[in-house]
Chain A
Amino acid sequence: MRVDIVNLTAHRGGRTVLTDVNVRVPSGTVLGLLGPNGSGKSTLLRVASGLSAPSAGRVDLDGTDLRTLKRGELARRVAVMAQEHSEEFEISVLDMVLLGRIPHGRGYGRDSDRDIAVAQHALRRAGAASLAERSFSALSGGERQRVLFARALAQDTPVLILDEPTNHLDIAHQIELLDLIRSTDRTVLIALHDLNLAARFCDAVGVLADGRLLSLGAPQEVLHTGLIRSVFGVESTAVAHPRSGDQHFIFDSRSTVPTDAPPPVHQFVPPQEETPAP
């Protein structure tokens, strides 16, 4: 399912947090959203998942404005994995994943055998099958992330929206999760902090700063040391992976140069002279 974000502007608490963002995510591709804290990634994902309303612009799913969809229809198209979670009452891991089946069921009905099969399958795929009987609140941060991802999988939607799903995960589980995301044929919008992982696993990356989309395209074209300096204020060195030849970034220090100064010359890869689109 194709996701089109069109001229999107959003406010939160009276502040403009997104300004005129345009992104097209083709069906079955993975879009990584990068940017410093407070750059608008989470708001963009909230609007794209229908949890917040934009103040201007729209989000289309296969050409249909998502605000015209009923709640249930939207929940059968878009699954969300967010950070927020209430813990006043206890819930078992399997029950948590089974909540993902709500959009597919109705009324008081008990969970069907198929719902349970789908939930257990999702848990296995997320590497969390052994947790099924545990209490959700007794899990570690990384285990919770895997369970919440399993819930999003169990929702069985063509679009997945993931807000920093690799938080708290050890490196093996980060790679496993991102491999899993890549291997699905779903359309994925994912906020990430690790630029190297984003470059490796995303079909396209969008870089946000102060609510504006600075740059959008294939990771190799978008990510370079100049952009990292101007957006994150960090000096970096781009190196080629000794075996694959893929570009990797090594982070050196906080920039001392004002961010609008021309990028310094690096030893391994000459700086790409393109300036980020305004």
Chain B
Amino acid sequence: MARTTLRRRAPASLARLLRRERPGDDGPAVPPAPVTNGRRRRDALAVRILVPALTAVLLSVLLMSTSIGTIAVSPADSLRIVVGHLVPGMPWMSDGSLSTLQDNAIWQFRLPRALLAATTGAALALAGALMQAVVHNSLAEPYILGVSAGAGVGAVSFIVLGIGVGSLGIGASAFAGALLATAAVYLLARKNGRIAPQRLILAGVALGSLFSAVTSYLTIATDAQNVFSIMFFLLGSVSAATMGHLALPVTALAAVGLYTALRARALNALLIGDDAAASLGVNVNRTRSGVLVAAALLTGSVVAVSGGIGFVGLIIPHIARILVGSDHRKMLPVALLGGAAFLASCDLLARTLAAPSEIPLGVLTAMVGAPFFLWLLRRDRAESVGMGR
């Protein structure tokens, strides 16, 4: 049935293709109805299962994050508090069944923190996947343009030189440092209007080292009392999150997510090389520059609030590729949700495992993520996406 449908609907160009059948070929004159092959079917199935599954995991982790802590709130109560803030006129918000303390704990502290962790995870995973695609290098990560090193210099100068107080001040200087570093690497890698991936990576590494040296020097040279806040920023943390902190990263994530969704096919073409992509009608230079700038801005907006959280941006895209293949239309949504669920879980662990003290988030992401990734890396599925070479 599908075959006749196809024949009837076959547009002119397909009909032309069919007539070009080589003489003496006994094969079917009409291509049979598309039989998606096993690999594609498996990848498509994986996406159909993974996207809802990861969404469910993410939502339950967020809910758990809001209810776990020193002030006891049941998951049902925390859900009621969240809904009560979002939807006006809910009876339980005014009947005295929930204390102000509970309300504050959830709406002022736990929820913004969990949301920031999820946003940061999603943003870093997306930025990492984009960087890897546009520079043709599986070792690329969001910080490749010197973004985190630049943010580090910005934040540390702020802490050391003590221009002001407050986390927003650190955030602003970190963001400025990240943008400055990105701009410098971008301009250094650009020659004759073309961004050479190899030059970009090397310029990023070199400039990153320079910035790290500056950060190290400032850390050593400053008063001992500053060292703790410096280390805390450099290792990454979402502990100081407020709803206000969410605005920049969420906006950036939404904008860059939309921007890349429209370029997923062009990114696929870039995977097979610049010339091949160009002959498929992709404006290689503009796509590369645009995606690089978008990914760097996204990373900068996240680093400014959460500090340099390693590992997520490098590894989550690879895990997504192992699970669903390198097609960006399948891989980007999985990486995005996976990054969000992973970092939200890590942050929940970071503040509960050693309570009342806290484990730096960057330490935990590596300690939880690395063994899992190494296990996945040894499986056959990883071989089939080219990690056995």
The answer to whether A71 touches B283 (Cβ under 8 A) is yes
Q: Which among A4-12, A131-139, A226-234 touches the partner chain?
A: A131-139
The answer to whether B386 touches A89 (Cβ under 8 A) is yes
B33 interface contact, C-beta 8 A: yes
The answer to whether A82 touches B276 (Cβ under 8 A) is yes
The answer to whether B6 touches A99 (Cβ under 8 A) is no
Residues A86 and B281 in contact in the complex (CB < 8 Å), given A118-B17, A184-B20 = no
Residues A179 and B22 in contact in the complex (CB < 8 Å), given A91-B326, A113-B34 = yes
Most interface-central of B31, B40, B137, B269 (chain A CB within 10 A): B31
The answer to whether B329 touches A110 (Cβ under 8 A) is yes
B251-305, CB < 8 A from A: 261-262, 264-266, 268-269, 271-276, 278-283
The answer to whether A102 touches B265 (Cβ under 8 A) is yes
Q: Which of B18, B36, B136, B279 contacts A116 (CB 8 A)?
A: B36
B23 interface contact, C-beta 8 A: yes
B8 interface contact, C-beta 8 A: no
Task: State which size class the interface on A falls in.
Answer: 35 or more
Residues A96 and B272 in contact in the complex (CB < 8 Å), given A108-B265, A121-B17, A155-B280 = yes
Give bound CA distance, A80 to B276, whole Å: 8
Q: Which of A80, A88, A120, A180 contacts B138 (CB 8 A)?
A: A88
Chain A 71-107 per-residue mask, 1 if CB under 8 angstroms from chain B, else 0? 1101110111010111111111011100110110101
The answer to whether A90 touches B33 (Cβ under 8 A) is no
Residues A85 and B329 in contact in the complex (CB < 8 Å), given A103-B280, A117-B34, A183-B23 = no
Q: Which of B17, B269, B271, B275 contacts A89 (CB 8 A)?
A: B271
The answer to whether A89 touches B278 (Cβ under 8 A) is no
**Chain B residues within 8 Å of A145, by CB:** none
**Chain B residues within 8 Å of A84, by CB:** 273, 275-276
A51 interface contact, C-beta 8 A: yes
Give bound CA distance, A49 to B278, whole Å: 10
Task: State which size class the interface on B falls in.
Answer: 35 or more
A124 interface contact, C-beta 8 A: yes
Do most interface residues of chain B lie in helix, strand or loop, or is the interface mixed? loop
A235 interface contact, C-beta 8 A: no
**Chain B residues within 8 Å of A82, by CB:** 275-276, 279
**Chain A residues within 8 Å of B268, by CB:** 95, 99, 102
Give bound CA distance, A85 to B275, whole Å: 8
Give bound CA distance, A247 to B84, whole Å: 89
Residues A156 and B6 in contact in the complex (CB < 8 Å), given A85-B273, A86-B136, A102-B265 = no
Q: How many A-B residue pairs have CB under 8 A?
A: 149
Instruction: Output the least CB separation between B377 and chain A (Å).
Output: 14
Residues A156 and B269 in contact in the complex (CB < 8 Å), given A71-B281, A84-B276, A120-B31 = no
A185 interface contact, C-beta 8 A: yes
A243 interface contact, C-beta 8 A: no
Give bound CA distance, A88 to B321, whole Å: 12
Give bound CA distance, A236 to B335, whole Å: 60
**Chain B residues within 8 Å of A74, by CB:** 281
Instruction: Output the least CB separation between A252 and chain B (Å).
Output: 35
**Chain B residues within 8 Å of A107, by CB:** 261-262, 265
Instruction: Output the least CB separation between A51 and chain B (Å).
Output: 6
A114 interface contact, C-beta 8 A: yes
A200 interface contact, C-beta 8 A: no
Q: Which of B6, B274, B279 contacts A79 (CB 8 A)?
A: B279
Chain B 40-52 per-residue mask, 1 if CB under 8 angstroms from chain A, else 0? 1000000000000
CB-based nearest B residue for A104: B13
**Chain B residues within 8 Å of A168, by CB:** none
Residues A102 and B281 in contact in the complex (CB < 8 Å), given A84-B273, A114-B14, A179-B22 = yes
Residues A51 and B279 in contact in the complex (CB < 8 Å), given A92-B39, A135-B386 = yes
B67-122, CB < 8 A from A: none
The answer to whether A95 touches B40 (Cβ under 8 A) is yes
Q: Which of A71, A86, A156 contacts B282 (CB 8 A)?
A: A71
The answer to whether B269 touches A99 (Cβ under 8 A) is yes
Residues A51 and B278 in contact in the complex (CB < 8 Å), given A89-B326, A110-B329, A114-B11 = yes
B366 interface contact, C-beta 8 A: no
Give bound CA distance, A88 to B273, whole Å: 9
A125 interface contact, C-beta 8 A: yes
**Chain B residues within 8 Å of A132, by CB:** 37
- Give me 13 other A-B pairs in contact (C-beta within 8 A), A99-B269, A117-B33 excluded: A79-B279, A84-B275, A85-B273, A88-B138, A90-B321, A91-B326, A94-B40, A99-B280, A102-B266, A107-B265, A114-B6, A155-B280, A179-B22
- What 10 A-B pairs have minimum CB-CB distances, sorted nearest first? A75-B281, A90-B386, A116-B34, A86-B273, A121-B31, A80-B279, A72-B281, A90-B385, A103-B281, A117-B31
14 CB < 8 A contacts A-B: A50-B279, A51-B278, A86-B272, A86-B274, A90-B325, A90-B386, A91-B325, A92-B39, A99-B276, A102-B281, A109-B265, A114-B9, A133-B38, A183-B23
Residues of B at the A interface (CB closer than 8 Å) are 6, 9-11, 13-14, 17-18, 20-23, 27, 31-40, 132-133, 136-138, 261-262, 264-266, 268-269, 271-276, 278-283, 321, 325-327, 329, 384-386, 389
